Structures are given as C-alpha cells and as structure tokens.
Structure 1
Amino acid sequence: MCGNIMSASLPAIVPAACRATAAVIFLHGLGDTGHGWAEAMAGIRTPYVKYICPHAPVMPVTLNMNMAMPSWFDIVSLNPEAEEDETGIKRAAESIKALIDQEVKNGIPSHRIVLGGFSQGGALSLYTALTTHQKLAGVVALSCWLPLRNSLSKSMISNNKDISVLQCHGEADPLVPLIFGRLTVEKLKVMLNPSNITFKTYSRMPHCACPEEMMDIKQFIKKQLPKIN
C-alpha cells in the first residue's frame, strides 16, 4: 500500500453504508499513510462498519538513515534483539487508545471495535490491545511482530485476555521474515487464550497484502463484529 507522504493529519475514513454500529481502526506501515489501507478496506467493507485509517506522524527513523517519514515510533533495526523505542511505542499506543475513546464518545462501544495494522502498524495494534483497559472486539495483525515482547507479561493484560486475534504473514516476506510472525504467535498464545488466536500464512506473498488475505480479514471482521439491530 502506498500513500502520499504529505497527507493531512485527519484519518482517512471509509464511512459505514448505513448506521455505523461498529468500527475498524487500521494502522499503516512505516513510510506509508492511511489512504492506501482505506481503499483496501473499502474493497472488503461491511455495510454497518466504519473504517478509520489514521496517519502516523512524520519523524526521523534510525533504520532509514534518520530520514523523516511517517512512523508510529522509531525503529533502530529489524534484528529481533535490537534496542526498541520504548518511549515512542508507549506514546503511540496512548494516541491509539485516545482514538478508540473518541469512537466510544461517537457512540460505538469499544467491544464493537476491531484494531488492526500492517507491519509497524500491526506491531502497534498488538501492543495497544495487550496494554489497554478498553475491551476490544479483536485484533488484525498483518506481517508484523510484537514490540517490547520481553517486558510484556500475562499479568499486564486486563480486559483483553480472551481477545480474538487474526495474525497473517507472507511466507516470502524479505523485510519482516516469517520467523517474526511465528515467534509472535507463540508469545501471544502464552499471554492470551490460545484458542482465540488464528495464524495464517500465504505462500509466495512478500511484504504486502494479497486478495486471499483481504478476504480472510473481511470474514474475521464480520465474525467479531456481527450485525446488531
């Protein structure tokens, strides 16, 4: 998914086709914006669901020679043992929790909200879901990893111990290798109800999305956010 690096700070939104009774908040990857994923969500939309795709702030990213680009937090390296931007990750998670609170004020309860993201955005969606007191409907984590995994423990999770997770990963991902996804799902199974975690891989898929994956996301959203009268 590609986007305009100079995009506005207001989220890209795909409004519900009828009265919105649920929402999906989806976070883009490093260097992207919410526009591409808003288009992707429009292609799998459920009529009563509102899709919100916020844009990350622009900041220097160590991994990319300190070039300024949309990024939820700094990334030093893609090595699993690399130092992590703990302050930035926690600050970003608070901004997503505030976005969830805004939707609650708009009339959509948090248990009718699915949080998701791709790559860096998927990492942030997982961390936010595990650390928030807001009870969520589910998490969609695409081609990503779990940030600050060594400091997270089962005891830190309050209202989302039984949350449903759809984790997806391309088997040919050269940027975030499949082993990152496998390690993440094993960690999640220790901290959450393992029966609620689904891990899907897609052969020959690199660091992107594919039609099969998008249909899996659509079905997950419909299951976690069923229609209500």
Structure 2
Amino acid sequence: MSSALTYIESNPPGEIKSTVIWLHGLGDSGHGFAPIVPELKLPEELGIRFVFPHAPERAVTINGGMRMRAWYDIKSMDFDKRADSAGVHESAGLVTQLIEAEIANGVPASKILLAGFSQGGVIALHLGPRFNKTLGGIMGLSTYMSEPSLLAEQADSANAKTPIFMAHGEQDNVVPVAMGQAAYQTLQANNYDVSWHTYPMQHNVCMAELKAISQWLQERLG
C-alpha cells in the first residue's frame, strides 16, 4: 500500500520494530526535521523508523496567496479560525494513508507514533484521537487544535487512552503559548492522558525538549 504523500525516511540499521511519522510546519518540508534523528540518541535496538512526509503545495491566504508546502490554508490569524477545516480533513486523510502503509508493511498500529510541529501538530492532534486503530502515542509541538468543540463527538475510542505529549515555547510569537494551552486543556477535559511541557524558546525546538521527546519515545516504543 502506498501514500499520495512523498517523504524522507530514516531507517534503523536492523529490523524495523516501530515508526514515528513526523509532520513539519508551514512552508517547511520533510527535510526540516530529519536532522534531529541522531540528536534524539535513541537506542538502535528499538528499531525505530522515522517518516518525514512533505505536505502538498497550496496557496496560503495570509501569505498573499503564495504557494508553499502547507497542510491547510490559513485564512485568518484569529484564534478560532486559523486552521482551514477542509484542508485539515484532506491532510488527515493523506496521513492516514501513510499510517496504513506502515501497518501493511508489518508495523503494528500500537508501535506507530504520530508527531507534528506547528501546522503538522494540528494534523497530529486532529487525526490521532480520530484514528480507528490504537496508536503508540501522539505528539504535538508548538501547536494548537482544529475544531476542538467537535473532538468529543468525533473521537474514536481506539485512542481514548493513547498518551499525548505536548510542548511549547514560552516566547512563541507565531503560535502563542495560550493556543497550545487551550488544546492541552481540551484534551484534559476529554480525559486524555496528555502531558504539557514548556521551554524558554520561541517557535522552534530546543535541546532540553529533544531530551524529553527522546525519553518519551523510548517509554512508548521500548
């Protein structure tokens, strides 16, 4: 089974036992986060494969209609209108194909972790709770939530207890930390096993965060 999304991949030296699908942010590509794999210093025996897909190119309204890689259009910077729901649903469908391809290649859903930064995190937080097979974990970095009011009715029970890792920069001027906190609180209110981490940084990742991510990945996929 194949996906419409192209991607960068990083495979372990031995048997593939688990997969992390990591979604980039607006205007980036799968190349953006691929260099962090060695920084995570994950034990080789865990057999973790990384997949970094490229978002489709589309016109982005807030950037004057410029075409760039984006998981959805951003028509307004308003808190409750930032994520274009049609684009979110379309990209969630494409990422679902990626997950199903990993399952078809022999990686159980429980050993697949869905991660995303910024726009990619929006897709991870949207798709993960709605996916119909139990995933190993969901990670949202410097991100927010699309359609939080619909989570309760749309969520699939398969991922009701799936651990969720959220992290955000305290000085983020692209996605204000309050937007991440709102997503965290929505997940909490819906009884998800979600953890919240903040760091003295802007809209990026830092070494302390990568260490926490590495530990969390090892707990989830060990």
Identity of matched residues, %: 31
Report the 3-state secondary structure (helix = DSSP H, G, I; strand = E; otherwise coil) of the residue aligned with 1:79. coil
User: Is the aligned partner of 1:178 residue 2:177?
Assistant: yes
Aligned residues: 215
Equivalent positions of 1:43-58 (< 5 A) are: 43-46=39-42, 47=44, 48-58=47-57
Partner of residue 16 from structure 2, selected from 9, 17, 20: 20
User: What is the aligned partner in structure 2 of residue 199 from structure 1?
Assistant: 196
- TM-score, normalised relative to structure 1: 0.90
Query: How many Å apart are 1:158 and its aligned residue?
Result: 2.2
Cα distance change on mapping 1:45 and 1:16 into 2, 3 Å: farther
Structure 1, residues 33-83: CA drift from partner, whole Å, max 9, x if none?
011211112321532100000000110011211110000111112211326
Query: Is this contact kept in 2: 1:143–1:176, CA < 8 A?
Result: yes
- How do 1:154-193 residues align onto structure 2 when only pairs under 5 Å count? 156-193=155-192
* Secondary structure of the corresponding residue to residue 210 of structure 2: helix
Structure 2 equivalent of residue 214 of structure 1: 210
SS in structure 1 of the partner of residue 179 of structure 2: helix
Kindly indicate whether the alpha-carbon contact (under 8 Å) linking 1:25 and 1:52 is maintained by their aligned counterparts in 2.
Answer: yes
Which residue of structure 1 lines up, in the alignment, with residue 71 of structure 2? Answer: 72
Worse-matched range after superposition: 154-163 or 113-122 = 154-163
**RMSD across aligned C-alpha pairs, in angstroms?**
1.4
Structure 1 unmatched ranges of 5 or more: 1-8
Structure 2: segments with no counterpart, 5+ residues: none
Give 4+ residue runs of structure 1 displaced > 4 Å after superposition.
none
TM-score by length of 2: 0.93
Displacement of 1:210 in angstroms is: 0.4
Q: In the superposition, relative to structure 1, how do residues 171 and 217 fare at CA in structure 2: closer, same or farther (>3 Å)?
A: same
Q: In structure 1, how many angstroms separate the alpha carbons of the residues matched to 2:89 and 2:199?
A: 31
3-state DSSP class of the match of 2:20?
strand
Alignment of 1:143 onto 2:125: no
In 2, Cα distance between equivalents of 1:59 and 1:45 = 35
Aligned to 2:81: 82
Of 60-69 and 24-33, deviating more is 60-69
Residue 38 of structure 1 corresponds to: 34
Contact 2:23-2:116 at 8 Å conserved across structures: yes
Q: For residues 150 and 75 of structure 1, what CA distance do their matches in structure 2 show?
A: 19
